[in-house]
Chains A and B, each alone.
Chain A
Amino acid sequence: MADQSRTEHNKAGRGWSFLVGRLTQIWSQAWVRRIVLLAVGVALLAIPKVWHSNYWMRILDQAGLSVIMALGLNIIAGYTGLINLGYAAFYAVGAYMWALLASNWSGNHYPFLFVFPLAGVVAGLLGAVLARPVVGLSGDYLCVVTIAFGEIVRLLANNLALTGGALGITAIDPPRFFGITIKSGQDYYYLILAMCFVLFVLINRLEKSKIGRQLMALREDEEAAKAVGIDTTRLKVIATVIGSIPAGMAGVVFAALQTFVSPVSFSVWQSVAWLSMLIVGGVGNAAGVATGAAALTILTEPLRAKTESYRMLIYGAILVAFAVLRPQGIWPKRYTGLDGTDQAEPSAASDPGGRPEEG
């Protein structure tokens, strides 16, 4: 079966589809992937050493955080199909926790290694609280409830004196552990890179685990998944919890990086931005999502200096364009076949969610 599809790709004729077919074939070899990964890893580590620019370091830091958020959202939305437009709430929880527990503003200075995992736990708990009522909802209602959830958190942050109101909290501590203080853009870069790496490894483990397979079954066809005995309700809650943990932890680093937090950063539009990174990168594909997140952030952050709204205008246009023209993203999700090979399509029927996927 796999051989057939490969030769068919080869026979696809000259031009674009032929090229893509050959590249796909090369990419499906495991050793190719490992070498590329190694090269990418080395390149990423080397960037701050060869490129000395504080400005771009900050942009890469933001990109890294976007990658983490996109990967987390991918677990919730990409693997299970639960669109979450209140994802910024988990980010906010982590960020405000750090701001309240480690800043000159609040007078507390709890250690980073204490708050960092705690933020993950709290975000996870919040995810569990959010997930229970929404598991039965579909598409639009899900969006609506998650937007409501996100907005409630933002409005509370905006109005409570505890969280500094609309002005937020300033003078936030940098992370300090094992005697190192993370202060410069370069320091944050390595910290965030390490977080991304760990998250990637964990997601890889997750994809190959029993829960991972159950999640993908759930995404592809919920009824069929239920029919084979998967408890879809429990699984959706689990997915939301797992997906919200990295968001909380990323929030901590975000607060430290910016040295201030304000409710403006946690709006619905931020959640939409992450979702658009998902759709551009390729929903359900961790590598694709990460690439999409990094690419979109790097390309649009410089526009923030010019005008914020040109940046958002482009985001909106990109989102509409991708939704209409290529909903599976630049790098569509792949299915690991039973024999371990990568396939472009599931072995059986085409994608039941809507249009059949294009190879």
Chain B
Amino acid sequence: MNVYSAFVQQLINGVSIGFVYALIALGYTMVYGVLRMINFAHGQLFTIGPMVILTLLEMTHLTDHFHRLIVPLSPAQAFLVLVLAIVVGGAAAGVVGLITERVAYRPLRKASSMAMILAALGLSIFMQNATMLIFGAETKGFPKLLPTARFRVFGAIVSGSQVVIAAITVVLLAALFYFVNRTYWGRSMRAVAEDKEAASLMGANPTQAIALIFLIGPALGGASGVLYSMQYQRAIYSMGNVIGMKGWIVSILGGIGNLKGAVVAGLLLGIVETFITGYLPVVTGGALGTEYRDVFAFLLLILMLFVRPQGLFGETVQAK
């Protein structure tokens, strides 16, 4: 593989993981838009999607105890199961998101920011450990539902699974943008995000709008989790941690509260991360390796907060 095709390969891989980041970041950015808080518990919803799906697949005897398919599926059937998995996983995560809003955030609507932040953190710990206790601590496999074909594009290898995941993500994003920009409920959400009181004066119901956000955001997160597990063939109770952190980093990078920004920043982080970790061993002669991949997200965050605190697409926020 020559330099050029290696470059394209990194680009494709970067975009691939970038889509995952983008979907997660949308959840954070949507919640921040209305509640002005970072929902630290959101990362755990990334885990819940795949976990629920794995359990359901096992219960319906489609997979064995080791999460391998025991029923042979034709490509069409596999695709159907795949789509169902995403929808159901997303729905499960969405329901959990609604519950967290009702239990933990709604009572704190008027509380100080420290209380809300602590509630979010506490919820995050609680959910992660609850997931572990319910679903088990071991790393689980994930059934092969994605096509295994591989193509060559400009000398780089693209797997069929990457294509399918990218396509599904684009569909999800398109659906989200249509919903937010072209429907009544989407308008209501945007109005509530901009000014709660004025929106309620105009007939939008803030409580419902917020509940909707806590349904859609986590649903996207859960769907993203299912996609991630399908791609990397594994799921573990702690998978929401690092991805969650990158999620809120991405939403801040893109301008928190801004949906478009979250998507762009997600892709950007995926690409930058992949490139840096790809070329880091080469540039430093092996001194620094790929294990530093996660550090760059944090460094990028600090850099962005120095240079342009409102993010790529954010509005300048007045310092108090």
Contact = CB atoms under 8 A, between A and B. Distances in A.
Task: Please say whether chains A and B are actual partners in one complex.
Answer: yes
A52 interface: no
Interface residues of B, number: 49
Contact of B125 (A148, A152, A158, A315): A315
A139 B115 contact: no
A310 B125 contact: no
Contacts of B117: 83, 139-140, 143
B56 interface: no
Given A148-B249, A222-B320, A355-B110, A272 B125 contact: yes
Contacts of B115: 323-324, 327, 354
Interface in A310-359: 310, 312-313, 315-324, 327, 353-355
Contacts of A111: none
Q: Chain A: interface secondary structure?
A: helix
B149 interface: no
A320 B123 contact: yes
A17 interface: no
Contacts of A319: 118-119, 121-122, 125-126
Interface size grouping (class) on chain A:
35 or more
Interface string B288-315: 0101101100110110011001000000
B130 interface: yes
A302 interface: no
B83 interface: no
B167 to A, nearest CB: 32
A138 B113 contact: yes
Nearest to B105: A324
A327 B125 contact: no
Nearest to B237: A309
B65 to A, nearest CB: 22
A138 B319 CA distance: 8
Given A138-B320, A222-B320, A313-B133, A318 B122 contact: yes
B38 A312 contact: no
B277 interface: no
A78 B220 CA distance: 36
B97 to A, nearest CB: 15
Contacts of B295: 151-152, 155-156
Nearest to B305: A145
Interface string B215-251: 0000000000000000000000000000001001100
B82 interface: no
A159 B104 CA distance: 36
Given A316-B123, A316-B127, A327-B111, A151 B298 contact: yes
A269 interface: yes
B110 A354 contact: yes
A258 to B, nearest CB: 23
Contacts of B127: 316
B112 interface: yes
Contact of B108 (A83, A309, A324): A324
B114 interface: yes
B107 interface: yes
Interface in A63-87: 77, 81, 83, 85
Given A276-B122, A324-B115, 5 more contacts: A83-B114, A144-B38, A155-B294, A312-B125, A327-B118
Interface of B: 32, 36-38, 40, 104, 107-108, 110-119, 121-130, 132-133, 137, 245, 248-249, 252, 289, 291-292, 294-295, 298-299, 301-302, 305-306, 309, 319-320
5 contacts: A159-B291, A310-B133, A321-B122, A323-B118, A327-B114
Give the 3 A-B residue pairs with the shortest CB-CB distance, closest first: A319-B122, A316-B126, A354-B112
